[in-house]
Structure 1
Amino acid sequence: MAVMQIVGYKNSGKTTLICKLLEIFSAMNLRVAVIKHDVHGFEVDREHTDTFRHRQSGAIATAITSPWRTAIIEEQETRLADLIQHFDHYDMTIIEGFKKESYPKIVMIRNKEDLALLQDLTEIRAVVVRQEAEECLNHEGMVAALADSSLPCYKADEAEEIAKLIVLSILSQEN
């Protein structure tokens, strides 16, 4: 199963990068699934929809499907490994978040405090530095420190290069 995590702290640019990568992979005719981690809770049903009413009335799982889309909502946490297994028939799964999991990952850096992630996490394949962080990191000598590491380092606007890295990483996972 081809999996790549995009991790970083809140507002580090994970979703923006993933959306750019999805456009690139779609143009390459790759079928990509995305799993997002949300520690704050979320709602996908809107009030007054049938599935919302079903859940409000006590259903512990609901599903809705059409010829174009399917959504399943369960009132329980699902293990990441189970979600990945559910998407195993796609070309690739991108995971947004789940920092502590041990899948190959790209780490988003937005300020010098985020550099601690490089010490705390495993399976790091690359680092992506947001544009607004570059000046701060340059000023503090952090970009040089990143360059001295063996990790590839990209700017957030280098989505094409990051996509190439992911494709190469996925090919090596399959072999």
Structure 2
Amino acid sequence: MAAAVFQITGYKNTGKTTLMCRLIDDLVSRGIKVATIKHDGHEFEAEAPHADTARHRNSGAIWSAITSSERTAIVKEEPSRLLELIGEAPADAFVLVEGFKQEVFPKLVIIRHADDERLLVDLKGIKAVAVWPEYRLREDHIPAGAMLFEINDVQGIGDYIRKTAWRSQS
């Protein structure tokens, strides 16, 4: 099981992927191994349509792997639960999860527009809120115990998520 887990959530086009990449850079610069898991609300294709593994799956394979001297990729023709994916992550990795809003791990919610604020009521496990510089979030809208960050405060967010992430008991 991974060493620590923290989620970055928000609606589409709020900056989740950009913040994730900036947090990965920050954590790696501190000597922390990072693994990532992303939820995609749409069908996705992880490889070129004419790649050998895609051809294998188009022929009926339900599981396909490709490996080289540099990396391995596995494609399964079935969904995976977040906990299952976390269990497959390296045991010494800090896992950053993008999406999976309804999961129970500690999370940061990104707020860019007024409509995004409903997530602050609907979601569980909110430990932090990141707002865009031009957005003013009322203090009484911040969930109890959650920290408020400006979305560009990557170092501050990185410090905070390291302290508040879910930790494996093993």
TM-score for the superposition, normalised by structure 2: 0.91
1:3 corresponds to which residue?
A: 5
Letter in 1 for 2:24: L
Aligned residues: 167
Asked whether the 8 Å contact 1:13–1:130 carries over to 2, the reply is no
Q: Secondary structure at the match of 2:138?
A: helix
Asked whether the 8 Å contact 1:146–1:153 carries over to 2, the reply is no
1:114 corresponds to which residue?
A: 116
2:163 corresponds to which residue?
A: 168
Please identify which structure carries the higher helix content: 1
State how far apart, in whole Å, the 1-side matches of 2:88 and 2:143 are. Answer: 39
Among the aligned pairs, what percent are the same residue? 41
Gaps of at least 5 residues in structure 2 are none
State how far apart, in whole Å, the 2-side matches of 1:87 and 1:106 are. Answer: 21
State how far apart, in whole Å, the 1-side matches of 2:116 and 2:138 are. Answer: 13
1:152 corresponds to which residue?
A: 147
1:123 corresponds to which residue?
A: 125
CA-CA distance at 1:45 after TM superposition: 1.2
Q: Secondary structure at the match of 1:131?
A: coil
2:25 corresponds to which residue?
A: 23
Asked whether the 8 Å contact 1:128–1:155 carries over to 2, the reply is yes
Deviations 1:107-148 (A, max 9, x none): 01011111111111111110000234x2xx3xxxx3343469
Any residues of structure 2 matched to 1:26-65 within 5 Å, and which?
26-65=28-67
Asked whether the 8 Å contact 2:127–2:145 carries over to 1, the reply is no
Provide the aligned C-alpha RMSD in A. Answer: 1.8
TM-score for the superposition, normalised by structure 1: 0.88
Asked whether the 8 Å contact 1:110–1:129 carries over to 2, the reply is yes
State how far apart, in whole Å, the 1-side matches of 2:144 and 2:126 are. Answer: 12
State how far apart, in whole Å, the 2-side matches of 1:95 and 1:174 are. Answer: 15
Letter in 2 for 1:152: M
